[in-house]
Amino acid sequence: MKWVKVIVHTSTEGQDIVSDLLMRQNAVGTEIKDRKDIPNINNFGLEWELYDESLINAMPEDVEVYAWFDLNSETNEKILSIKDELKTIKQNDSLPLGTLDLEIEYVDDEDWSNVWKQYYKPFRVGKNIVVKPSWEDYERQENDIVIELDPGMAFGTGSHATTHMCLELLEKYVSSDKAIMDIGTGSGILAICCALLGAKKILALDINADAVRIAKENVDKNGLNEYIKVVQSDLLKSESINCDIAVANIIADAVIMLMPSVKNSINKNGLFIVSGILKDRKNDVLKEAEKLSFTLLDTLSDKEWVALVFKQES
């Protein structure tokens, strides 16, 4: 079996945007090479006396994001879609994202679907949330809320800044009496977090069949089938849904498009938690929220990303 390796040339500011784009196209995994991730050895002590200068010199001058895809009948269509998205981003984004040039290599079979796992370790988010890969051991601490996760090909390892902020906000606002809707659930991480925080009624939606399958597997791993229902569905085409909190870790355009449907789904005084918003798109989201009489309740930011909490007043 062969794989397609896609390489996108970008910048430090653009690496997360490009990585997200590739993962949304169901890349098996991504890797980022950025010279800025290498510490300045002159600022450190003896522990940096031994280093491989040739490895540092081999790092690309710009930032390179690598992604691997199965070579099959859908691969060419995915690559064309990636090219189109890169072109759109380059035309519309105000950030210095580099050239966004794309290269393609064909590589022989290697277990790319599992090699990324060696870099994915348990990590803590917020006060008590711990995201633990299902294959890793972890010594639970008092008050830990441990999410067992195997993201597979679904977006949502929990390690991205946008997911971090969502988890922090859920920890702040979710309680046992809240009905939750997770829009674009991906790996199911946000829905699982809500259940572990005490919510008893959670609907997790995704239009991608692979994401739905993986989310269901992760819900089962955490023993939460009683509380979480995972459905392949588009909110825009769904029947009326009532919830107290809706959460979505998706791009700004998708948030804006979904807002009217979310407004109709959230109960009075309910919350809409959104992440995946670039700072330069924040005002676009706020304008749409104002039109629909949402009130901005809370904001988090991390580098070029923001997360927002809106309250439904009417």
Query: Is 56 in the same domain as 147?
Result: no
The CATH number for 93's domain is 3.30.70
Residue 48 has pLDDT above 50, yes or no: no
Structure tokens at 22: 């590739």
Q: Which of 58, 82, 116 is the last residue of a domain?
A: 116
Interatomic CA distance for residues 31 and 312, integer angstroms: 39
Q: Which of 91, 116, 141 is the last residue of a domain?
A: 116
- pLDDT confidence of 158, banded at 50, 70, 90? low
Query: Is 234 in the same domain as 301?
Result: yes
State mean pLDDT over 13-38: 83
Query: How many domains is the chain built from?
Result: 2
Query: Is 34 in the same domain as 173?
Result: no
Query: Is 156 in the same domain as 272?
Result: yes
Query: Is 17 in the same domain as 90?
Result: yes
- Which residues are CB-contacts of 131 (< 8 A; sequence separation ≥ 6)? 122, 123, 124, 125, 147, 149, 157, 158, 159, 167, 189
Query: Is 86 in the same domain as 157?
Result: no
Angle formed at CA 193 by CA 190 and CA 197, multiple of 5 degrees: 140
Query: Is 131 in the same domain as 246?
Result: yes
pTM over 0.85: no
- Which residues are CB-contacts of 140 (< 8 A; sequence separation ≥ 6)? 130, 146
Does residue 151 contact residue 172 with C-beta atoms inside 8 Å? no
Which residues face 306 on adjacent strands?
277, 301
The CATH number for 290's domain is 3.40.50.150
Query: Is 109 in the same domain as 127?
Result: no
Domain range enclosing 140? 120-312
Query: Is 140 in the same domain as 66?
Result: no
Query: Is 135 in the same domain as 49?
Result: no
Q: Which of 68, 96, 116 is the last residue of a domain?
A: 116
Structure tokens at 223: 């023993």
Task: Report pLDDT digits (tens) over 64-75.
Answer: 999 988 888 788
Residue 23 has pLDDT above 90, yes or no: no
Residue 55 has pLDDT above 50, yes or no: no
Pick from 236, 204, 205, 240: which is nearest to 222 by CA? 204
Query: Is 109 in the same domain as 128?
Result: no
Task: Report pLDDT digits (tens) over 159-176.
Answer: 788 889 999 999 999 999
